[in-house]
């Protein structure tokens, strides 16, 4: 008996394989970063404007080799193994290079130069994403806000409400001030938390996370039930994921895993991930037939896919 086939959708596309390489990038757990230091930062680094005259630097925390690619000095993680070709991947920590044991270093350097434009573009995109994430760290307090299904969710500590068992609840839509529509702004919802005003950030975060996960399961089930018949597939089991590097995955037995943090995005993005995973129940690959299957239910899936890549979910601290 062979193991169940499984396909995953990367979170932030954190391990992006260089185009044209024959070696697939495995789904591996996100490595734990080493403590921050001046010599080995935990994410790609771009010097500030005050460092004029020095090369732009991207440094992997486990870097063992360096190479100059155009205007940049790239320190990358290098490993050899049982493989047939040189492989590159750009992840949250920078560039990683894998090569067969028999390939000389001069050929590795030549391959890096050949793909330098792609590598630098992906390193720059990764750095910009880290910067956006840093700007979207949630401040767990009364009045804090976070994105929720295309709307803005504002937190309100209100111990007087009688929903202690649930921990949190949206104010009724008809209540004055609950939903505010402003030109050019997202609709705003108020989430009341059954917590005292002196509640700690950890307490607030835990109650909000529990509420969001309940909403995620409800919405995911609705969208799975919607797209399943359209695709002619039947999902068997839904599990919520809290993975750091995956938006979702599907197994050939009909099991679907979806990252609950998808509720930070709009419904159109969520629909793309749901349709993506359900399409794997017909095509357990990423072949042209797979993308045609996704397109059959989401003609504009490419725009949704790009939105998922470009937008940054808030960072939970």
pLDDT for res 135: 63
Evaluate whether 94 touches 44 at the Cβ level (below 8 Å): yes
Calculate mean pLDDT across residues 225-232.
97
Calculate mean pLDDT across residues 230-258.
92
pLDDT for res 144: 92
Tell me the CA distances in angstroms from 101 to 25, 80, 82, 83, one per residue in order. 18, 5, 7, 8
Q: At 161, is the pLDDT very low, low, confident or very high (cuts 50, 70, 90)? A: low
Burial 242-275 (b: 16+ CB within 10 A, else e): ebebbbbbbbeebbbbbbbbbbbbbeebbbbbbb
Q: Does residue 304 or residue 44 have the better pLDDT?
A: 304
Q: At 92, is the pLDDT very low, low, confident or very high (cuts 50, 70, 90)? A: confident
Calculate mean pLDDT across residues 277-305.
95
Tell me the CA distances in angstroms from 178 to 171, 175, 187, 267, one per residue in order. 6, 6, 9, 20
CA 97 – CA 166 distance, rounded (Å) = 48
Q: At 230, is the pLDDT very low, low, confident or very high (cuts 50, 70, 90)? A: very high
Q: Does residue 92 or residue 290 have the better pLDDT?
A: 290
Q: At 163, is the pLDDT very low, low, confident or very high (cuts 50, 70, 90)? A: low
Query: Which of 52, 55, 59, 74 has its CA nearest to residue 120?
Result: 74
The beta strand positions in 55-150, using DSSP E, are: 56-59, 65-69, 72-81, 87-91, 94-100, 145-148
Given a cut of 50, whether residue 262 has pLDDT beyond it is yes
pLDDT for res 146: 92
Q: What share of the chain has pLDDT > 70, as a percent?
A: 73
Given a cut of 60, whether residue 123 has pLDDT beyond it is yes
Q: Tens digits of per-residue pLDDT, 52-85?
A: 345 578 999 999 999 999 889 999 999 999 888 9
Between 301-310 and 288-297, two packed helices, what is the crossing angle to 10 degrees? 100
pLDDT for res 314: 84
């Amino acid at each position: 008996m062979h193991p169940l086939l499984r396909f995953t959708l990367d979170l932030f596309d954190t391990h992006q394989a260089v185009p044209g390489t024959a070696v697939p990038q495995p789904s591996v757990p996100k490595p734990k970063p080493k403590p921050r230091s001046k010599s080995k930062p935990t994410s790609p680094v771009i010097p500030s404007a005050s460092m004029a005259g020095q090369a732009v630097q991207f440094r992997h925390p486990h870097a063992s080799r360096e190479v100059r690619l155009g205007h940049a000095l790239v320190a990358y993680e290098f490993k050899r193994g049982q493989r047939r070709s040189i492989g590159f991947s750009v992840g949250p920590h920078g560039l990683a290079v894998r090569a067969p044991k028999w390939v000389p270093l001069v050929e590795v350097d030549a391959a890096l130069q050949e793909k330098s434009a792609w590598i630098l573009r992906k390193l720059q995109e990764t750095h910009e994403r880290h910067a956006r994430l840093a700007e979207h760290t949630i401040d767990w307090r009364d009045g804090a806000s976070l994105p929720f299904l295309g709307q803005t969710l504002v937190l309100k500590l209100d111990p007087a409400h009688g929903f202690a068992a649930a921990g949190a609840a949206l104010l009724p839509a008809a209540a004055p001030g609950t939903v505010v529509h402003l030109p050019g702004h997202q609709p705003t919802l108020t989430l009341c938390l059954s917590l005292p005003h002196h509640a700690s950030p950890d307490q607030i975060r835990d109650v909000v996370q529990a509420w969001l996960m309940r909403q995620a399961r409800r919405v995911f089930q609705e969208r799975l039930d919607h797209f399943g018949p359209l695709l002619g597939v039947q999902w068997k089991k839904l599990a919520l994921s809290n993975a750091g590097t995956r938006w979702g995955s599907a197994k050939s037995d009909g099991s679907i895993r979806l990252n609950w943090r998808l509720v930070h995005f709009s419904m159109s993005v969520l629909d793309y991930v749901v349709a993506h995973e359900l399409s794997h129940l017909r095509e357990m690959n990423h072949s042209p037939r797979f993308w045609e299957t996704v397109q059959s239910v989401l003609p504009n899936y490419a725009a949704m896919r790009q939105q998922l890549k470009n937008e940054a979910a808030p960072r939970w601290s």
